[in-house]
Amino acid sequence: MQFRPVKEQLDILLRGVAEIIPADELEQKLQKSYDAGIPLRVKLGVDPTAPDVHLGHTVVMRKLRQFQDLGHTVVLIVGDYTAQIGDPSGRNKARPRLSHEQVLENAKEYQQQFFRVVREDRVEIRYNGEWFSKLPFSKVTELMGQFTVAQMLEREDFHNRYVSNSPISLHEFMYPMMQGYDSVAIQSDIELGGTDQKFNVCRGRDLQMFEKMPLQIGMFMPILLGTDGKAKMSKSLGNYVGVNEPADVMYHKIYNLADSIVENWFELLTDVPLAEIKQMMTDVASGKLNPNVAKDRLAKNIVAQYYGAEAAEAAAVKEKEIHSGNAIPSDAKECRLDAGEYKILDLLVQVKAFSSKGEARRMVQNGGVKLAGEKVSDPMMEVKVSGSDQLLVQVGKRNFFKVNF
Amino acid sequence: MQFRPVKEQLDILLRGVAEIIPADELEQKLQKSYDAGIPLRVKLGVDPTAPDVHLGHTVVMRKLRQFQDLGHTVVLIVGDYTAQIGDPSGRNKARPRLSHEQVLENAKEYQQQFFRVVREDRVEIRYNGEWFSKLPFSKVTELMGQFTVAQMLEREDFHNRYVSNSPISLHEFMYPMMQGYDSVAIQSDIELGGTDQKFNVCRGRDLQMFEKMPLQIGMFMPILLGTDGKAKMSKSLGNYVGVNEPADVMYHKIYNLADSIVENWFELLTDVPLAEIKQMMTDVASGKLNPNVAKDRLAKNIVAQYYGAEAAEAAAVKEKEIHSGNAIPSDAKECRLDAGEYKILDLLVQVKAFSSKGEARRMVQNGGVKLAGEKVSDPMMEVKVSGSDQLLVQVGKRNFFKVNF
């Protein structure tokens, strides 16, 4: 196979990377692959514990895609065995153990989303039960013997749990060994991960050395901050953009991104040349460019990756219409209530717009609630609905509830 | 099966025991066995890492023998899998890993000695590879998940190594789990061990609880002090009496036992009734009984267990003969040298009686060396030997060398 020159490959692959360990070996690996005409094997291990993929996960996936576009092979390890333990990285307690059935179900959902970023060709999907289900006990003890307790307890997450008397189960110490052995089993050249994966990825190198085979290098991508610009993107913090969200919802979330991380998102989530990004940011800083123009470009670029350019344009248009009250966003919640007469505050609580009538009353008094497009001003108002009616409730700018009776 | 009444069994079984965990359950187990007519399964696990059995090991073996004599079943676990890790109990560093072949070889040697104390009937010998070689990886992680890192690091030996930065390999944390799982596999009722085995034996209870089966109790025997009366008996300290040593050597070592532990050895290594032992000790303390009479009885009693009463009497006689220069002990070392002329100091170094000529000279000058029964007085003396001669070299009271030419 004929690859692009190493220098060109490096230009693409180094974009956005936080760290490579060891730093100097990527070029050597690429050169060797180029000379021999053999693709590199680029590993990503995932535990499909919670299969919802968001843009934070795509930072690594986009890097895999770059490797594929350059002719290399991606090996996706689905950790059906490791998921039963759960990666303790960055955790402050043991994860609940998942059943094997649950893990396989999650894995299916995960892959559907994974392939929205990664090509379906040039990929090898391997479940690590393939080797772990057959690993003899004597091999387990041999592999465990390659690591020390102190080495594990130096890891920040384990260390913190140990000193704060939060229990660490012994099987959690097996996790890094398992992730490392995955690299042995698939003869990985490069393992990708977030910077929180450094410890585990280096264990793969250890075990490859123990097995006297060529050593993988670790390539670490930064952890993406969520839309609030403050914390790591995560579903539970509500600062995420899911790859399965509708185009207009995706657009809306990105268009309202915290200013401080627009540049970082451009670098990690788009192919816009770095020089162009720099120029945009300079222009925004000097007042020459409205920051919303930059965000519109970012939002359209990302939406287009998942839905195409046309859908991205449409999402931008819809964003304006929703803003001026002429459209309803795709993530409006729907629910069903019995026909009859409702006091407006009861209705708002029943559709779960508010958790108490007190909260609902304050919002009505502040003019933040609309019923079928009309502002509600009287908190004592009554609403009468008969079967097959649909009622649109709007709370604040963007919180819509379609109520069916 | 009809057993002796529980009270009678307890009288025998409680002799010399250091601790039972939980203390009140032995009587219950015995009662249940008595009522149902079913023998108890009494477990001892051994790692045949170094197969030389000495009297220290027999303290536990004699207890097993008592259980057998009362009709119960001994289950000897030969840790062919655990031995490959090595019990870290009381250790300050990881043991070297043994090969499976070496372990099996050691196990054979071990059993030959084991059966000098334990009956060959009413015993079940199980190699733990029987279950560990088939233990699936998912089960390993499940079992490991029953223990915590903190629990392991509370163990004194692990704790000391951790705080002194002496590495603990992760596979050593698997050892207590393995010993515990042995108890599950063989459905142990009682596990025997030295007091240094408390931690591991209690892990067996943990795993039996996890597997929802009846829980074993732990019965712990004291650690026997060596002939010096100071340190735990051990081959490397030279304060041991091996069960395979010749009768006269055994007798000699016991007859020269430190006074302070004669009573303890009587209790742990003989069946002499406790009241009789007490009386003897009182008589020795008051000067009514020569301590050597007590030691002679102890030595004869123990030698008789291994070689019979007649051999024990003969050993006592021989001890006196050696003392008066009329006999050579069985542990005299033998070696072969070329015929020719030797300076006496060279000869002494060549037969390894001394490591330097300086040492040899001092001993000769002190009158501590005999050649063929004659004291050597001249350190410059020359000895001429021709083929097929045998020369007897004696250093001090009891160190003999038979030199063949």
User: At which residue do the structure tokens 């010993």 appear?
Assistant: B179
The rounded distance, in Å, linking the Cα atoms of A374 and A242 is: 32
Q: Which carries the bigger pLDDT value, residue A80 or residue B405?
A: A80
Does B303 score more than 90 pLDDT? Answer: yes
**Chain B closest CA to A173's CA: distance in Å?**
8
What whole-number percentage of chain A has pLDDT above 90? 68
Question: Are the C-beta atoms of A301 and A262 separated by less than 8 Å?
Answer: no
When computed from its CA atoms, the radius of gyration of chain B, rounded to whole angstroms, is 25
Residue B95 has pLDDT above 70, yes or no: no
What confidence category does residue A386 fall into, taking pLDDT thresholds of 50, 70 and 90?
confident
Question: Residue A48 has what pLDDT?
Answer: 82
- In tens, the pLDDT along B229-284 reads 999 999 889 899 999 999 999 999 999 999 999 999 999 999 999 999 999 999 99
Which DSSP letter does residue A386 get? -
Model confidence at A321: pLDDT above 70:
yes
Q: Is B139 annotated as a binding residue?
A: no
Q: What is the mean pLDDT of residues B160-164?
A: 93
Contact state of B148 with A168 under an 8 Å Cβ cutoff: yes
Of A137, A147, A170, which has the smallest distance from its Cβ to B149's Cβ? Answer: A170
Q: Shortest CA distance to A385 belongs to which of A332, A325, A336, A326? A: A336
Residue B399 has pLDDT above 70, yes or no: yes
- Highest mean pLDDT range out of A52-61, A340-349, B342-351? A52-61
Structure-token pair, residue A142: 């041999």
Q: Tokens in use for A390? A: 């649909």
Q: Determine contact: B158 vs chain A, CB below 8 A.
A: yes
Cβ atoms within 10 A of the Cβ of B11, count?
A: 11
Mean pLDDT of the A35-50 span: 93
| Between A314 and A82, residue with greater pLDDT | A314
pLDDT of residue A197: 92
Q: Tell me how far apart the alpha carbons of residues A361 and A369 are, in angstroms, rounded to a whole number.
A: 10
Specify the pairing of strand B41-46 against strand B333-336: unpaired
Nearest CA to B393 among B351, B358, B360, B365? B351
* Tokens found for residue B134: 């088939």
Nearest CA in chain A to B84: A138
pLDDT grade for B319, boundaries at 50, 70 and 90:
very high
Nearest CA in chain B to A167: B148
What does the block give as tokens for A11? 């230009």
Nearest one of B338, B370, B375, B372 to B353, comparing CA atoms: B370
Domains by residue range for chain A, with CATH: 6-221 (3.40.50.620), 245-324 (1.10.240.10), 333-404 (3.10.290.10)
**To the nearest whole number, what is the mean pLDDT of chain A?**
92
* CB–CB contact B141 A165 (8 Å): no
> CA B392, CA B403: separation in Å to the nearest integer?
6
Q: How far apart are the first and last CA of chain B?
A: 63
Say what the pLDDT of residue A95 is: 67
pLDDT greater than 70 at residue B336? yes
Q: Tell me what percent of chain B is helix, strand and coil, each rounded to the nearest 5.
A: 50, 15, 35
Task: Using the predicted structure, report yes or no on whether residue A292 has a pLDDT greater than 90.
Answer: yes
Q: How many CB atoms within 10 Å of residue A34?
A: 18
pLDDT in tens, A177-209: 999 999 999 999 999 999 999 999 999 999 999
CB of B175 within 8 Å of a chain A CB? The answer is no
Q: What is the CA radius of gyration of chain A?
A: 25
